Structure 1
Amino acid sequence: MRKIAFILLVLITGIAQAQDAALESARKKIAANDFKGAKADLTKIIDSNPKNKIALNLRGQARLELEDFYGAIGDYNAALEIDSTFADALNNRGEAKMALGDDEGAIPDFDKAIKFNSKFADAYSNRGLAKYNTEDLQGAYFDFSKALELGPVDSDKYFNRGVVKAELGEFISAIDDYSKAIEFDKNDPALYNYRGVAYYNTGNLDQAVADYDQAIKLDPKDALKFENRALAKNAKQDFKGALEDYSKAIELNATEPETYNLRGVVKYSMEDHDGAIADYTKAIELDDTNPVYYDNRALSKTEKEDYAGAIEDYSSSIELYPSDPETYLQRGVVKVTMNNKYDACLDFKRAEELGSTEAKALIKKNCK
């Protein structure tokens, strides 16, 4: 009997060693992005041993990368039925839920992963992302900071915390995090773009433009980066430079109405009212539900003394947004210019009712 037991022990040991080798092979395939190959290998292991939680977790990872999110969750569920404290499977299941847009459902999984492994930096990072997506900015701030504390530090961790700081209005501190992220990855255009936005919000326009320059150098095909640089140049009153950047943004993406609107604003500042009207008209063609585009076109039409056209645009704006006192006020001013004081006074009174502080003086001057 001892001999038989010894033989069984050898067999069990050999099987375990073979499975360990197969698991390591599957891990290497996942690392090499051969997710289909890894899934096939892991399925063989699971078929021979359905209780292998490591294989189930790894197959879940392969399925997650193959965007089989429900299949991945099924594998993680099976692994957790075997070991409910399996932190890796909890974290990975949370990632799969996030991929399905279920951020709220993912957070309890990350909570449990952290409960069973308090040093699990990836789980803190993932929970931070889920909290960010559910607009819990303070919670995300804590989690990203904890992930950095646990380490290893990297570009993504600093970037994530920088984004949250910026949304909380902590732009100077966000710049510090973006700068640290850039130290780890000097070739990521997004890092320079986001830091440029933060600099713009602190009023450091020169540094914002410098960061956008670098972002564009690294990624010259992104319309948004040109638009961001145009905003900074416009704020510096470099209207020619802003105009060039908006035109480049439109060349890269001709279907974004806001870019036409913003280019129209620059043309208005340069007193090119025909050009501004053309841009506002294009913006309206692409999105006829934004009252700002009608307001802006009305301003340029007023400058060209097309008062009837301006009133028409202000009226369209009011139909879309009837609670804006400024639009009534501006329409009233145009009506005064046309000597239609009766209708102008109706607009001024409505503007006053909606909270305009300027309307009272206009009523006193023009209305009896």
Structure 2
Amino acid sequence: MVERFFTRKEFNNGYSEEKHAASNVYKRMLKDGFKDNALAKFDLDFISNKPEKLTSLSVFLTDIYDFIFGDPVQEDDHWILKGTAKALPYTEEDLIFWIIDLYCKAYEFDCKLSGYGTLSDSSDLNYLDVGAKTPVDFYEEGLGEINKRNFGKAIIYFSIAIKSVSEMKEAWQARGYCKEMLYSYRAGRSDYDQALEIDSDYADALLSRATNKDDVGEYEGALKDYNRVIEIEPDNGLAYYNRGNTKFNLGDKVGACMDWGKAKLLGDTDAQKRIDTECK
């Protein structure tokens, strides 16, 4: 097994610290005159033990995130990559998740986000013209960023939509999904709860919350949400498949196999694997 520069243990140990650091950066920005939702441009540094890793990260962030980078440069026992991001509108929460997204993406390339700072002038703030687009436009742009796995930017767009139309349940659900993709399960759950406050029978949010609960071991709560999804959408194959997994985790193998069988009939492509493994 190839030894990593940035290990999983280091990633996990640094995750909360990175969120806390981003919060502090934003608080300093406010102290210096920045305002919520103003546009800010950041420069960023990434480090790794090999330039090829940083080059691969650079290509990804240039193509998908529209960043601008120089070439990796050696510094002591490591290499460093310096780049600049395009200006985006931020609140404290949005900046935290934008940074966490970069922290996660860097890890995927065995690189580490090592520093960042704003390049914007707080005495000359600019704002996104949110009136030029509808809240639905921002929501759809967020979905486009999800498809590119740019979860930090997607969260910003969903936040803009929610600020304009607080009852947009789809934006709450989608933002919660992005937070989960960045390993912030509690924050994701909170957004699903908000979507369900708006519409208690919103099946997409119920399904997402059920999966969230299952992932953290809250199997009884997950089962309740899956049951409700199936009541609302009796042909939802994914709900049957996931409920089967939850039942299996609760020790109900018979019930799990029945649900996986139903999921298979409804077209779920993963169900057969579980049936072959667990239902002999």
Compute the TM-score of the two structures, normalised by the length of structure 1.
0.40
Determine if the alignment matches structure 1 residue 70 to structure 2 residue 174.
no
Amino acid at match of 1:93: R
Determine if the alignment matches structure 1 residue 100 to structure 2 residue 174.
no
**Aligned partners of 2:246, 2:231: CA distance in 1, in Å?**
16
| Residues 235 and 266 in structure 2, CA contact (< 8 A), matched pair in contact too | no
Equivalent residue number for residue 255 of structure 2 = 173
Determine if the alignment matches structure 1 residue 156 to structure 2 residue 238.
yes
| Residues 87 and 112 in structure 1, CA contact (< 8 A), matched pair in contact too | yes
Taking structure 1 as reference, are residues 50 and 138 closer, same or farther at Cα in structure 2, changes over 3 Å only? farther
Shift of 1:102: 1.1
Q: Secondary structure at the match of 1:145?
A: helix
Return the match for 2:134 from 28, 38, 52.
52
Equivalent residue number for residue 194 of structure 1 = 274
Superposed, 1:189-338 pairs within 5 Å as 190-199=270-279, 208=280
Taking structure 1 as reference, are residues 170 and 154 closer, same or farther at Cα in structure 2, changes over 3 Å only? same
Q: Which runs of 5+ in 2 are unaligned?
A: 1-63, 65-127
Amino acid at match of 1:166: F
**Aligned partners of 1:139, 1:48: CA distance in 2, in Å?**
38
Q: Which runs of 5+ in 1 are unaligned?
A: 1-35, 37-45, 200-207, 209-368
Taking structure 1 as reference, are residues 132 and 195 closer, same or farther at Cα in structure 2, changes over 3 Å only? same
Q: Secondary structure at the match of 2:163?
A: helix
Q: Secondary structure at the match of 1:49?
A: helix
Taking structure 1 as reference, are residues 47 and 194 closer, same or farther at Cα in structure 2, changes over 3 Å only? same
**Aligned partners of 1:48, 1:100: CA distance in 2, in Å?**
26
**Aligned partners of 1:117, 1:52: CA distance in 2, in Å?**
22
Amino acid at match of 2:212: A
**Aligned partners of 2:276, 2:156: CA distance in 1, in Å?**
43
Amino acid at match of 1:160: N
Provide Cα deviations, 1:97-126, integer angstroms capped at 9, x if missing partner. Answer: 111111111001101101101221010000
Equivalent residue number for residue 5 of structure 2 = none
Taking structure 1 as reference, are residues 152 and 78 closer, same or farther at Cα in structure 2, changes over 3 Å only? farther
Provide Cα deviations, 1:19-38, integer angstroms capped at 9, x if missing partner. Answer: xxxxxxxxxxxxxxxxx9xx
Shift of 1:139: 1.1
| Residues 87 and 116 in structure 1, CA contact (< 8 A), matched pair in contact too | yes
Return the match for 1:86 from 146, 163, 168.
168
**Aligned partners of 1:152, 1:47: CA distance in 2, in Å?**
43
Where has structure 1 moved over 4 Å in runs of 4 or more? none
Determine if the alignment matches structure 1 residue 126 to structure 2 residue 221.
no
Provide Cα deviations, 1:58-113, integer angstroms capped at 9, x if missing partner. Answer: 11111011111000000011111112221111001011111111111100110110
Greater helix fraction, Structure 1 or Structure 2 = 1
| Residues 124 and 143 in structure 1, CA contact (< 8 A), matched pair in contact too | yes
Amino acid at match of 1:180: K
RMSD: 1.9
**Aligned partners of 1:167, 1:107: CA distance in 2, in Å?**
20
**Aligned partners of 2:130, 2:193: CA distance in 1, in Å?**
32
* Max Rg structure: 1
Compute the TM-score of the two structures, normalised by the length of structure 2.
0.52
**Aligned partners of 1:162, 1:86: CA distance in 2, in Å?**
31
Greater strand fraction, Structure 1 or Structure 2 = 2
**Aligned partners of 2:131, 2:217: CA distance in 1, in Å?**
42
118-127 vs 50-59, greater mean Cα deviation: 50-59
Shift of 1:196: 2.8
Taking structure 1 as reference, are residues 92 and 48 closer, same or farther at Cα in structure 2, changes over 3 Å only? closer
